[in-house]
Amino acid sequence: MAQNEGGDGGNGNNAGGGGGGDGNKKSQSKDVKQEQQPVAHPAKEQLPGVQYCINSPPPWPQALLLGFQHYILTLGMTVLIPSIVVPQMGGRNVEKAKVIQTTLFVSGISTFLQSLFGTRLPTVVVGSYTYLIPIMSVVHASRHNSCTDPYERFTQTIRGIQGAMIICGCFQMVIGFLGLWRNAVRFLSPLCAVPYVTFTGLGLYHLGFPMLASCIEVGLPALILMVFISQASIYLHRYISTKKPTFDRFAVLFSIAIAWLFAQILTSSTAYNNKPEVTQNSCRTDRTGLISSAPWVYLPLPFQWGSPTFNYGEIFAMLTASFVSLFESTGTFYAAARYGSATPVPPSVISRGTGWLGVASFFNGMFGSVTGSAASVENAGLLALTKVGSRRVIQISAGFMIFFSIFVKSHALYFPFEPGKFGAFFASIPLPIMAALYCVFFGYVSSAGLGFLQFCNLNSFRTKFVLGLSFFLGVSIPQYFTEYYQVKLDHAGPRWFNDIVTVIFASHTMVAALVAFILDLTLSREDDAARVDSGLKWWEKFSIYGSDVRSNEFYGLPCSLNEFFPAL
């Protein structure tokens, strides 16, 4: 290299008067090289590439299809939790169908209220898997052992769940509407938000491939279909050129339809006739028994199972689950704001949304659902896939939820099928197909958390320590409590106390968020340089509602309600 440089220099010197021209050429070449140097991508407060943001609804035909797609996605969690809990409560298919319809009905109402008066984000409110541990404690409580009639045991158990859920709803409303959650969220920085939002998606990994693998011959093709169809514009751009993003925008409908048809062919061809019962329940399309057991028109009524009952131990355990669900819902709010191309959610708006989640949990307790409410992680991921973050689409999906929860069978009269068969299509989607979709959507939510890294200094060892330890403990600690805690301490101490400890430390989101929050407060806020490294300087202008002029555009209440309920 030295010889080449010397040779170039000699040529320049021998050129005499032409040396200046060569010098100009060299300077020009240096300028070209400098222009070709790669530059870092600039940080974006709003995610670019979103085609319809919160306030820009798509055309009505597309909005209806997109809303229906969100509704289909809610069926996974809506069917999964009652399918696990109700049979152990002594309920039959009739009771399971009513609980599912009730849960769907409450989810529809809660989603509409959340999008209208809550965070105003395009988030769907569904039943939360976080409540499962304390719910199972209520189901297996010794006081129900005296019930010999299965229906009597079911009603007693669900009344106990209702009582605990009503208290949980009141608790969430208090910490939300009184601004207590707002004061806690204000201490967050982008460095805290990275593991927080990331584990909102990653923490649900057990609902992804493990549930898909319960029927691998149906779930794996569904996952491959979902990946291929959602990225068809890239995979097929050499063969098919379309100006409209039809495939990726409606990938859920295409994937579910094809995978369900494949599962139906396997079921009709008697492929599962001699398989174990567990395999048949996971793979077959005729094992739900929901539509045939449901009434033609069913309007859930408050306290339809009787007056709720209250047990202090179960209430404490359920309160812990409701607190953990607020952590997970807050992470979902941040992801939904990102994929809706909005600015980061002000703490007062998150606190307002928390209060309306409390209203949703209160409704669950009042109407008789078997779980509390939380913001749907999978539906937030669907916003990223479709690149449509419109609030109107979510409100349409809420309408579908309410309609199908009441008229679960009557709509079949308008189609030339045996009564109930059209509605049975939606309820007979095997859960491994839904799990295949979760693998994609939970990943999208996780990547929304990683997006906050653009505001942090990744060359700081302090930043690396906070991220590394929170990520590792967010995986390791819940794994311990999931595998060993209940086994070792099942008979040590009160069951409700064990449930409290397990619910807190088995939540990946809560552990990762708490570790990152504590480390960020104690390590990354010593001076201005540390605050810049953690992204806090950038985040501060979004910590107060009125500090950014765009807050009212995205999060302002309708009908001038901000004048009566101002956000702080």
Quote the pLDDT of residue 287.
61
Which of 131-135, 153-157, 470-474 has the highest average model confidence (pLDDT)? 470-474
pLDDT band at 279 (very low <50, low <70, confident <90, very high): confident
Weakest-pLDDT range from 124-133, 395-404, 536-545:
536-545
More confident residue, 284 or 465: 465
Residue 3 above 50 pLDDT?
no
Please indicate, yes or no, if residue 185 is contained in any of the structural domains: yes
Quote the pLDDT of residue 483.
82
Please indicate, yes or no, if residue 384 is contained in any of the structural domains: yes
pLDDT band at 10 (very low <50, low <70, confident <90, very high): very low
- For 254-277, give one letter per residue: b (16+ CB within 10 A) or e: bbbebbbebbbebbeeeebeeeee
Per-residue pLDDT of 457-482, as tens digits, reads: 999 999 999 999 999 999 999 999 88
Quote the pLDDT of residue 7.
39
Distance between CA 358 and CA 117 in Å, rounded?
13
Distance between CA 492 and CA 498 in Å, rounded?
8
pLDDT band at 2 (very low <50, low <70, confident <90, very high): very low
Please indicate, yes or no, if residue 2 is contained in any of the structural domains: no
Please indicate, yes or no, if residue 464 is contained in any of the structural domains: yes
Q: Do the beta carbons of residue 391 and residue 555 sit within 8 Å? A: no
Average pLDDT, the chain: 84
Please indicate, yes or no, if residue 27 is contained in any of the structural domains: no
Weakest-pLDDT range from 37-46, 61-70, 335-344, 413-422:
413-422
**Cα 41 to the center of its chain, rounded Å:** 27
Distance between CA 485 and CA 140 in Å, rounded?
18
Q: Do the beta carbons of residue 124 and residue 111 sit within 8 Å? A: yes
Distance between CA 343 and CA 555 in Å, rounded?
10
Instruction: Read off the DSSP letter of residue 453.
Output: G
Weakest-pLDDT range from 33-37, 162-166, 337-341, 377-381:
33-37
pLDDT band at 420 (very low <50, low <70, confident <90, very high): very low
Quote the pLDDT of residue 15.
40
Weakest-pLDDT range from 50-64, 135-149, 422-436:
422-436
Q: Do the beta carbons of residue 193 and residue 210 sit within 8 Å? A: no
Helix (H, G, I), strand (E, B) or coil at 279: helix
Among 518, 380, 511, 438, which residue's Cα sits nearest to residue 206? 438
Token match 């039943």: residue? Answer: 127
pLDDT band at 137 (very low <50, low <70, confident <90, very high): confident
| Section 504-519 average pLDDT | 94
Quote the pLDDT of residue 271.
82
Pairing of strands 125-127, 373-375: antiparallel
| Section 408-420 average pLDDT | 39
Please indicate, yes or no, if residue 50 is contained in any of the structural domains: no
Q: Which two tokens stand for residue 83?
A: 């399918």
Please indicate, yes or no, if residue 5 is contained in any of the structural domains: no
pLDDT band at 17 (very low <50, low <70, confident <90, very high): very low
Weakest-pLDDT range from 237-246, 356-365, 488-497:
488-497
* Residue 534 belongs to domain spanning: 60-551
The whole model's pTM is what? 0.87
Among 115, 84, 109, which residue's Cα sits nearest to residue 99? 84
Q: Which two tokens stand for residue 554?
A: 């995205």
Helices and strands in the chain: count of H runs, count of E runs: 27, 2
Please indicate, yes or no, if residue 249 is contained in any of the structural domains: yes
Per-residue pLDDT of 226-256, as tens digits, reads: 999 988 877 776 666 666 777 888 999 999 9
- The total of structural domains in the chain comes to 1
More confident residue, 308 or 2: 308
Per-residue pLDDT of 28-87, as tens digits, reads: 555 555 556 677 788 888 888 899 999 889 999 999 999 999 999 998 888 889 988 999
